[in-house]
A = this chain, B = another copy of it.
Amino acid sequence: MTTRRRLPDRKSKITLREVALRADVSESTVSRIMRNQSLVADATREKVMETVRALGYVPNRIAGSLASLNSHLIGVVIPSLSNIVFPEVIQGVHEALKSSDFQAVISTTEYDIDREEVMVRGLLAWKPAAILIAGFDHTMATRRMLDQSGVRVVELMDIDSAPIDIAVGMSHRKAGHAIGQHLIARGYRHFGYVGHDWAADRRARLRYDGLREALAEAGLSIEAHAIADGPSSVGTGRDQTKNLCATSSKIDVAVYSNDDMAVGGVFHCLSAGISLPDDMAIFGFNGLEIGRELPQPLSTLRSNRFMIGKKAIEAILESPERCTRPVVIDTGFEIFSGATA
């Protein structure tokens, strides 16, 4: 029988077998040692570790995962990396993963749920232990794949809908409501809203709805809107603030879809000589660092993105098997009074 199969491998290719051969033990012994299972004699372990070092052996996790049917990979699906809140979530993920041997694989959807479907399918092919995914807005196919895969699924950022498995985040509706109540309590009566496209950002819409409810409860309403087509950004916030000011002069507070937009608003006011908060007040959302460092700290509502990523991973490490009932983890929020409202 000729030795068919495969071209000569270009790489050195040190395998478990090599180590076992050289150390004169069986492959399983080496395998046990590499996974520090404790049922190995110290002398053997020492002998094997020596050859491991000598050979520079690195276990092949692909083979390991296949054999154990367990990849120790965690898929993370987020809309984008350009909005700093998502990198912050991932920092929390990395933090919680630090002492485990799991690794995160990150995909971005660019706010496109069809692309999200492609990403999820791609991740599922790696048989991850879990998928973390931002939001609840998925295609039917995505939802079905996620559901049938049997892996743990954590929907991140908001908890305003029923999760497939676990949801970790805060109620954006309540956040909007809290902002409304806070501003009313501070004496504001004439509200404006500066926002960005809701189509891709359902959570901004939820906050808006919450805000409106709170105002309605006090017999108030939003008297002027300035809403951009595209995504949120400092520049957009600046432009739309100019629009708002041009449209309506009786607004005493403007609520922004988020801090990026609000910082833009602050910059417009600085340029236009509008005094904060006397001429007009500004209120943001998120509690980004940049807002805290403005000449006047931005009034905002702090969400805890880092904690969302961290809690999500902790929940998964704690119980790797899916529970019978969905779980909701509320990471809460906090009003930061600041100096602009």
List residues of chain A with CB under 8 Å of any chain B CB: 9-12, 56, 58-63, 65-66, 69, 71, 80-82, 84, 86-88, 90-91, 94, 101, 103-108, 121-122, 124-127, 144-145, 148-150, 233-235, 238, 263-264, 267, 270-271, 289-290, 292-295
Q: Is the CB of B94 within 8 A of A90?
A: no
How many angstroms between the C-alpha atoms of A121 and B80 in the bound complex?
A: 27
Q: Is the CB of B295 within 8 A of A267?
A: yes
Given contacts A81-B94, A105-B105, 20 further A-B contacts (CB under 8 A): A12-B148, A60-B125, A62-B65, A62-B71, A66-B66, A80-B91, A84-B84, A91-B108, A103-B105, A103-B122, A103-B126, A104-B106, A106-B106, A233-B293, A234-B289, A234-B293, A235-B293, A270-B270, A271-B295, A290-B290
8 contacts between A and B (CB under 8 A): A9-B69, A60-B66, A62-B62, A87-B87, A103-B107, A104-B106, A106-B106, A290-B290
Q: Which residues of B contact A61 (CB under 8 A)?
A: 125-126
Q: Is the CB of B88 within 8 A of A82?
A: yes
In angstroms, how far is the closest chain B Cβ from the Cβ of A9? 8
Q: Which residues of B contact A238 (CB under 8 A)?
A: 293
Q: Which residues of B contact A124 (CB under 8 A)?
A: 58
In angstroms, how far is the closest chain B Cβ from the Cβ of A116? 13
Q: Is the CB of A289 within 8 A of B233?
A: yes
Q: Which residues of B contact A84 (CB under 8 A)?
A: 84, 87
In angstroms, how far is the closest chain B Cβ from the Cβ of A92? 10
In the A-B complex, the 6 residue pairs with the closest CB atoms: A81-B87, A234-B293, A61-B125, A271-B295, A11-B150, A270-B295
Contact of A108 among B94, B121, B290, B295 (CB under 8 A): B94
Contact of A81 among B62, B88, B121, B295 (CB under 8 A): B88
How many angstroms between the C-alpha atoms of A122 and B61 in the bound complex?
A: 9
User: In the complex, what residue of chain B is closest to A90 when comparing beta carbons?
Assistant: B81
Q: Which residues of B contact A103 (CB under 8 A)?
A: 105, 107, 122, 126
Q: Is the CB of A293 within 8 A of B264?
A: yes
How many angstroms between the C-alpha atoms of A106 and B87 in the bound complex?
A: 11
How many angstroms between the C-alpha atoms of A188 and B164 in the bound complex?
A: 61
Q: Is the CB of A127 within 8 A of B235?
A: no
Q: Which residues of B contact A107 (CB under 8 A)?
A: 94, 103
How many angstroms between the C-alpha atoms of A124 and B57 in the bound complex?
A: 11
User: In the complex, what residue of chain B is closest to A292 when comparing beta carbons?
Assistant: B235
Q: Is the CB of A235 within 8 A of B59?
A: no
Q: Which residues of B contact A106 (CB under 8 A)?
A: 90, 104-106
Q: Max chain B CB contacts within 10 Å: which of A61, A86, A144?
A: A61
In angstroms, how far is the closest chain B Cβ from the Cβ of A301? 20
How many angstroms between the C-alpha atoms of A101 and B121 in the bound complex?
A: 12
How many angstroms between the C-alpha atoms of A80 and B121 in the bound complex?
A: 27
Q: Which residues of B contact A270 (CB under 8 A)?
A: 270, 295
Q: Which residues of B contact A101 (CB under 8 A)?
A: 122
Q: Which residues of B contact A86 (CB under 8 A)?
A: 87
